[in-house]
Structure 1
Amino acid sequence: MASLAQWVAGARPRTLPAAVAPVVVGTAAAAAEDTAQLGLAVLALIVAVSLQIGVNYANDYSDGIRGTDEDRVGPVRLVGQRIANPDNVKLMAFLWFGVGAFAGLALVALAQTWLLIPLGALAVVAAWRYTGGDNPYGYRGLGEVYVFLFFGLLATLGTEYTQANAISLVGVLGAIAVGCLASAILVANNLRDIPSDTVAGKQTLAVRLGDAKTRRLYLGLFVVAAAATGLMAFWHPFAPVALVGLLLAAPGLKAVLSGATGKALVPAIATTGIAELVWALLLVYPLAR
């Protein structure tokens, strides 16, 4: 029977900055239009974090029952390591999806942004189908596309839209940057798992691209995020200050670009997430001032 610490580890806390950052940036973009609303931001945060935890448990369940997690480096695999009953892990995933759905309904009701309901429902379905179902798209190299769309564009612009009832160009640039940085977390994760995913037949984008191209993709995502941040200076001159936050990813970038493998890549996942979150927080004042 899994301990509380193992359940927490199974939620993969290192990935949570990818859920917090888009809400911070979306709220900052709304603040730039003098329409930020803290209560709605908190609800958006609950939605994003709940979906992130839900998809983490869902991936644990689906990869575990397929045998993909039999021999992995990295965080606890509740099902793959036979720590927890698979049905309980699946139930945990859907409980968190339920929390996210309930908070999402409250958010759109208060904000009167009913257009977001089908998009939210699509996000939940996509979260499950990432590694679940008969033909999971995460096994076809589309995981990064999911992350960019849902934890980048939708999460950021959805947050802004619920508070401002509009989407700004600055919000779009922020969403692109968030999507790139969140995708970089997954790229680092999948780079680490190339050997085990190849054996298991999991065709992630990293497996399809190969080691060298995946490392270049990781760097390219940071370049695009930095460029999007720089472009914000046309409207908010101090926005590039947020680039300081990306310096926190230096250890991860060094590990990836130096050819590190296996456990040596684990810090890259954590530092990328931390860099994304600090970058987002540093954007708040330049956009809201």
Structure 2
Amino acid sequence: MQTPLQPGTAPIARDQGLQKWWQLTRPHTLTAAFAPVLLGTALAIEVTDINMLLFLAMLIASLLIQAATNMFNEYYDYKRGLDTEDSIGIGGAIVRNGIKPGTVLGLALGLYGISILIGIYICMNTSWWLAAVGLVSMLIGYLYTGGPWPIAYTPFGELFAGFFMGMLIILIAFYIQTGTVTATSVIVALPSFILVGAILLANNIRDFDGDKEFGRKTLAILVGKKNAVKLLAGMFIVSYLWILVLILAGTLTPWLALAALSLPKAKAAIEGFRLGSNPLEMMPAMKATAQTNTIFALLLSIGLFISYL
């Protein structure tokens, strides 16, 4: 759920044409699916030759599942009366742009259907055990805001999002190339677990007042807004220190220190949440949090690519 504008704030413009359909996917969130696939594949280069068709299949499936999850979010928040035309951070397809709720739900299910077909191709070329993993991941994507007890309304949203949209994507991308999961792939995936969870925490900090009003029990509400910002800062710190310690221990190549170049985005996110007093003012901080995750993973991938040269 996203928080409405404060009284006296200018209304949000409606999207037109193809733009309203594109915004329905919430494109700023799609990098959370792209970056882990790239990182998992980069980790696999040291082990095996990369199958580009499997890489592209995994990438497309991950993007489609992320977009579908966003559409389920749009649909169920509308059905529960949580979104309005002036809500910040939503695609606005239903309440602002006039797309029928049934159309949004149908598109989400359609993207899931395409993802299943792609998943079948991946399983045919790797292992059918991935079918079970993929179906569970899709179910979690639906249950995030769908079903009788939406995960998004609980303190566990960050945990589920971090694991399924962060760590697990990296490990699947690595597995479909190598046929195994190594200790190195797991330890490199842990910061992605944390940073994808941080995106959800940032979203819940921004929506703190509205979520509290509607009775949601998110982690941010559980610990309080100020403590949630401190927790977000701690998640950033742990992610960077994790890579640094592994480099100093000789477990990872020093090239992965490139991830530190994303620190300014993390700093901007924390400052934005500390200074922002309403959802619109905190939107840049929310964006900076998502960018931190993306740039962090991309820089890790670049570091791996360089180390293999």
Structure-2-length-normalised TM-score: 0.87
Is 1:42 aligned to 2:42, yes or no? no
| Map 1:127-138 → 2, pairs under 5 A | 127-138=141-152
* 1:73 paired residue number: 88
Change (3 A) 1:91 1:267: same
8 Å Cα contact 1:142/1:204 also seen in 2: yes
**2-structure distance, mates of 1:32, 1:83:** 49
d(CA) in 2 for partners of 1:97 and 1:236? 37
1:170 to 1:78, Cα distance in 2 relative to 1, 3 A? same
Identity value in percent: 29
Match among 203, 211, 215 for residue 189 of structure 1: 203
Which structure 1 residue ranges, 5 or more long, are not aligned?
A: none
Indicate the residue corresponding to 1:204 in structure 2: 218
For 1:226, the equivalent position in structure 2 comes to 240
Aligned equivalent of 2:297: 280
Structure with greater proportional helix content: 1
Using a 3 Å threshold, how does the CA distance of structure 1 residues 82 and 6 change in structure 2: closer, same or farther? closer
1:89-142 deviation line (CA, Å, top 9, x unaligned): 1011111112222212211212x2221111100111111111111121211222
Q: Offset at 1:82?
A: 6.7
1:266 aligns with 2:280: no
Q: What are the residue-to-residue correspondences of 1:41-190 with 2, within 5 Å?
A: 41-70=55-84, 72-81=87-96, 83-110=98-125, 112-190=126-204
Q: Structure 1 residue runs of 4+, over 4 Å off?
A: none
Superposed CA deviations along residues 63-98 of structure 1, whole A, max 9, x for unmatched, are 110011136322332234472211111011111112
Q: SS of the residue aligned with 1:216?
A: helix
Which residue, out of 41, 44, 59, partners 1:30? Answer: 44
In 2: Cα distance, 1:128 partner to 1:118 partner: 15
Select the structure of larger CA radius of gyration.
2
2:15 aligned with 1:12: no
Deviation per CA, 1:241-265: give whole Å up to 9, x if none: 2221233333222212345431111
Contact 2:75 2:104 in 1 (8 A): yes
Separation in structure 2 between the aligned mates of residue 202 and residue 118 of structure 1, nearest angstrom? 30
Cα shift readout 1:140-181 (whole Å, capped 9, x = no counterpart): 222111111101121110110111112222211221111211
Distance in 1 of aligned mates of 2:260 and 2:117: 35
Q: Secondary structure at the match of 1:186?
A: helix
